[in-house]
Structure formats: structure tokens, C-alpha cells
Chains A and B, each alone.
Chain A
């Protein structure tokens, strides 16, 4: 068990393209950190630099109190779970689990003890003598987990370990991985491009964009206070509605409605509203946006209405039984209104947030 400290880390691949730049991140002991971002943003690269599979071009990575930049993966006291599991096809499950321990010179009875323990925790005892070929995807996934936990490492590294599983199994496994990690208390770094997986599993989220950290925070913090339109759209499903608006004299005008925006400099802004932050009845001093219903999606537990609002498409979610008609007025929850400047960065008009609750 150990903290992972990443200082100003960067990676430039041969050819001079920087894949990852200026990453600063402190991962606390026992924490479950999820790296999330769109394809090609450098998640795997960062993870593989922590693992030692990719050379670190600049900066330092510390695991515990050791700088590991120059250490071989095996010396870093980490275990990794790969997307395609990377089990040794010619070895039985038992051999797969023991191989790393054997290389490390662990005594035989200790190996047996740890393998049996892992098999019990993961319920893979029945297939210990099978080869990976004779296992289903979910079972292979467990074996891959097993190979990581028998090592009793100070950190687990996961690179999209669930993306080869079907949707249902994915949900089960993400719960299991999280439960297991809590029980073992092992520091974990988990890479995924699936924002839902990221939200549900993370103690802390790290949103990456084009090789840089865009935002770090707890899932709810990132969800409620996205620092940019990029994060706002990436986290949450359906994603946040972004509408163009203009600020003049402390008020923002968007889709023919005017809301207070005290202290915000005049100019063009982007107004963000999450689908669940609309109501159909006015509350307090809210102004409404005239909206025309164009489509309805039923999700069972709720229904999504797609509206045309002032020339833009807006999604709003409602309880399952909500009646929707063609012409209606949407009343946004002003305490949940997000403003982003021309640079796509969040603008926080503090008085507005305080006064609107």
C-alpha cells in the first residue's frame, strides 16, 4: 500500500508528438482514482508510465517514497490488469496466478496459500486447472484480477479492464472490483473512456484532454462544477445542454429568457444546463424558455424530451409519468445554471449561486 505522486510528468513519443504533458497528481494511499477522457487523450500512456511499461520523458513518478522512473515494472511493486487480460495461454489458471510469485522467489507453500486465497475471493477455485482458452470472458477477467491480487502489490493499475465484456457483466464486475479494492485497501489507478464507469467507481476522477489534466475531483464535484465545456459535456449522460447566450449589465440572455448573472463581464457566453435541471412549472422568480417538443425517448424510469429552444436542441429529463405537450415552457433551476466564457472556461458568479438557493 502506498501513495503515488506524479510530478510534472510528460511523454513524447518518437516523432516528437507529445502524448502527455505536465501532469501533476497526488494519489493518496488506498484511493481509487479513475483516469477518464476521450480516445487518444493519453490515459493509457499515463498509466503505462506509472507501470514502467513506457519510459517517462520528463518529470518524476513516486510510488510510496521511492522515485520509480528508472525501475523495471517488476521492481515497482504494482500489478496491472489489461484490457485483453493478457493471460498466458499455455499455462493453467493456477500457473498463471503463481508465475509472478515464482519469479520473485516466493516460497512454495506461500504461493499455494495466496493462490487459494485469491481463488476463494474471486470464486475461480473450480477452474484452477483449466487453461484460459476454456474460460468465458468474465471468468478470464476474474483470473486477470486474481493474478493482480496474489502479488499483494502496493498499487493496482487497470487499463479498461471491462471493455471486452457485455454491458450487464460490466456493471456487475465494476461493483465487484470496487468492493474488492475497498476490502484490500490497495491504491488503484483505473483507466476508462466510459464516463458512467468513471462516475460510479471513482473516489476521485481525473479528466484528461489532449494529454493534459482538465479537472480533478470527486465524481459529484466534477459533475456539479465542471471547469470547462469539455468536462461539462463529457461527464453525465445525456450530456449537459450548452446554449449560446449574451451577458449584459449583470444579466444573461438565453433563448429569449433573462437570468441574473451578477459580476459576469459583458460578452458572449455559453450557458450550460443538465437535462434534469428543468421544471415545467415556474418556481420563485424564474423566467421560462419557450420550447417546442420534437421527440420523446422513454427510458422506463424516466422520459427524455427533446426540444427546440431558440434555434437550439435541448434535452430535458422528466419522471416517467410526466405528460409533455408540443408547445411548453421550460423553467431552468437557476442554482444549477453554468456559465462558460469565450475560452470555454467556467465563470462563477458567486452572488448568483448564493442568492438562488
Chain B
């Protein structure tokens, strides 16, 4: 701290509180909405205080009892989302950690080319290449499958670069010491590199899990079989009713439930996550 005036403290806190309010308000509204009757929300006046319908709403959402608007039980959608998010996060980490290892520690023909090709894919996010990607996935018969949901999203230039940076900070002598100690390439990778990148892996896992969990466009495109609906896409489908008013309390309850797993992941991995972002000592 450079300055230490009382009013500056107050100002800083006010700014932070304002920020929190702006970010948290929509979440609060969602929670509040999920505790009211469906009609309360559509009446035009959005209630600001919790209602008394919470237990009933959440019970029927979890039981999948709102059959008119939810063709798929929420637990199935949560399960699908979980599988998708974990597969994407783990897949991205495995692939990027291996490719970073190859790029940093091996001298193979066309190494530069490989590096630049990975770099170029950075400029092509899923949304840009979504039509050809869909075509490929459809031709391979991967529509309505976990493979189709995850594989096109797994390759990750960003994560590869992150690991490349991490590996570059590890002194060469460590690799040489390991070679003298009789550790071959895989042993060095497993015994030295992976443990040293542990916190980075954890931080990346959190970020990628949320990335996978929040996927919206892609799951909507490639799943037509309700058995593969993910929760985020499911919410959109719930709101997409033609013949009646959307049941906002159920939608909001689903949204609140959809927020829980990422929150749990963040909290569970908080210590490692923060360490991975701030730790510089190697």
C-alpha cells in the first residue's frame, strides 16, 4: 500500500462492494425467482425477496416432475455436463502437456512447423470453424455421443503454450541431472516435469472444467437425442417453449443447480488454483 488514508480505504471498499453487487445481482435474482410461483415472475414485477415455494420447486426439478417442459431429468443433464466438462478438461490437459513436452524437449524434424501449426489454431476458435467441424463430426457418425461432444473441443493451443512457458522456466540442468540419474524421457516426464507443473495443472483444470461446463453452442448443435443433453443447453431448451409461458421458477432453479458443480470445483481446488496462478518459484 502506498497511501494509507482512511477515506481511501472506504473508497476502495465501496468500489469493491459495487463490483460485487453488479456481478452478484443477477445470481441473486435467479435464486429469488426459483423460490416463487411461476406466475409471480411473469406478472411484470420481479420480486426482490425470496418467496416460500423453494422446497416445492427444487423437489420437482430434481425429481424431473415438470414433464411438460423438461423432457429430460435434470440429473441426466447434470451427469452429461459433468462427463463433458471432465473429459474436456482432462483431455485438453493431457494433450497439451504432452505436446508442450514434445515441443520443448525434443528435436524432431518439422518441430518449428508443428509449433506454428499449433499457434495458428489459436486463431480459429470453435465458433469460427463450427460448420466444417460439424460436417466432420457428422460424417464420422459422432453426433449424439460423448466423443462428439468433447473431441472437437479438446485440442488446445492455449494450454499448450501455458505448459510450454512452464517447462521453459525449468532449468536445463534438471533434465541433465535426471539423465545422469538414469531417468529416460518418460521417467523424467512423470517424476520431474509433472510434479513440478502440479499447481499449473490444477489451475488449468479449474479453468477448463468451467469452460467445458459452460459449452453452449456446440452441444446444442450436435445433440438431438435427449439422452445427451447437457444442463446449459437444457436450460435454453426449457425456455424455448412454443405453446405456453416458460416456467421461470423451474428454469431458474435449474440454472442455480447448474452453477453448483463449477463452484464446488473452484472451492475444492482453490488452494492449488491460487498457488498455480501466483507461484513463481521453481
Tell me the residues in window 198-239 of chain A with beta carbons closer than 8 Å to chain B beta carbons. none
The main secondary structure of chain B at its interface with chain A is helix
Segment at the A interface, from B5-13, B49-57, B173-181, B232-240: B173-181
Closest to A74 in B: B182
The CA-CA distance from A74 to B176 in the complex, in Å, is: 10
Segment at the A interface, from B17-25, B146-154, B187-195: B187-195
Does any Cβ of B come within 8 Å of A290's Cβ?
no
The CA-CA distance from A82 to B181 in the complex, in Å, is: 13
Does any Cβ of A come within 8 Å of B196's Cβ?
yes
Does any Cβ of A come within 8 Å of B129's Cβ?
no
Given A88-B192, A89-B282, A90-B196; A73-B173 close (CB under 8 Å): no
Closest to A54 in B: B176
Given A99-B191, A133-B281; A86-B174 close (CB under 8 Å): yes
Set of chain A residues within 8 Å of B118, measured between Cβ atoms: none
Question: How many residue pairs, one in A and one in B, have C-beta atoms under 8 Å apart?
Answer: 59
Does any Cβ of B come within 8 Å of A269's Cβ?
no
Smallest Cβ distance from B144 to chain A, in angstroms? 43
> How many B residues are at the interface, by size bracket?
10 to 19
Set of chain B residues within 8 Å of A80, measured between Cβ atoms: 176-177, 180
Does any Cβ of A come within 8 Å of B183's Cβ?
yes
A74–B179 touching, CB < 8 Å: yes
Does any Cβ of A come within 8 Å of B171's Cβ?
yes
Smallest Cβ distance from A177 to chain B, in angstroms? 18
For A71-110 the 0/1 string (1 means CB < 8 A from B) is 0111000111011101111100000000110011000000
Given A90-B195, A90-B196; A100-B281 close (CB under 8 Å): no
Tell me the residues in window 133-176 of chain B with beta carbons closer than 8 Å to chain A beta carbons. 171, 173-174, 176
Does any Cβ of B come within 8 Å of A53's Cβ?
yes
Does any Cβ of B come within 8 Å of A51's Cβ?
yes
B171–A86 touching, CB < 8 Å: yes
Given A90-B196, A103-B187; A84-B173 close (CB under 8 Å): yes
Closest to B173 in A: A86
The CA-CA distance from A83 to B173 in the complex, in Å, is: 9
> How many A residues are at the interface, by size bracket?
20 to 34
Given A84-B173, A90-B196, A133-B281; A78-B182 close (CB under 8 Å): no
A73–B282 touching, CB < 8 Å: no
B177–A72 touching, CB < 8 Å: no
For A43-75 the 0/1 string (1 means CB < 8 A from B) is 000000001110000000000000000001110
The CA-CA distance from A261 to B182 in the complex, in Å, is: 59
The CA-CA distance from A147 to B178 in the complex, in Å, is: 11
The CA-CA distance from A88 to B198 in the complex, in Å, is: 14
Closest to B195 in A: A90
Tell me the residues in window 119-154 of chain A with beta carbons closer than 8 Å to chain B beta carbons. 133, 147
The CA-CA distance from A74 to B181 in the complex, in Å, is: 6
Closest to A98 in B: B181
B173–A88 touching, CB < 8 Å: no
Smallest Cβ distance from A161 to chain B, in angstroms? 12
For A6-28 the 0/1 string (1 means CB < 8 A from B) is 00000000000000000000000
Residues of B that sit less than 8 Å from A by CB: 171, 173-174, 176-183, 187, 191-192, 195-196, 198, 281-282
Residues of A that sit less than 8 Å from B by CB: 51-53, 72-74, 78-80, 82-84, 86-90, 99-100, 103-104, 133, 147
Q: List 14 A-B contacts (CB under 8 A).
A: A52-B179, A52-B180, A53-B179, A73-B179, A74-B179, A79-B180, A80-B177, A82-B176, A88-B177, A89-B282, A90-B196, A103-B182, A103-B187, A147-B181
- For the A-B complex with A88-B177, A103-B182 known, give 11 more contacts whose Cβ atoms are closer than 8 Å: A52-B179, A53-B179, A74-B179, A74-B180, A74-B182, A82-B176, A86-B174, A86-B176, A88-B178, A88-B192, A103-B183
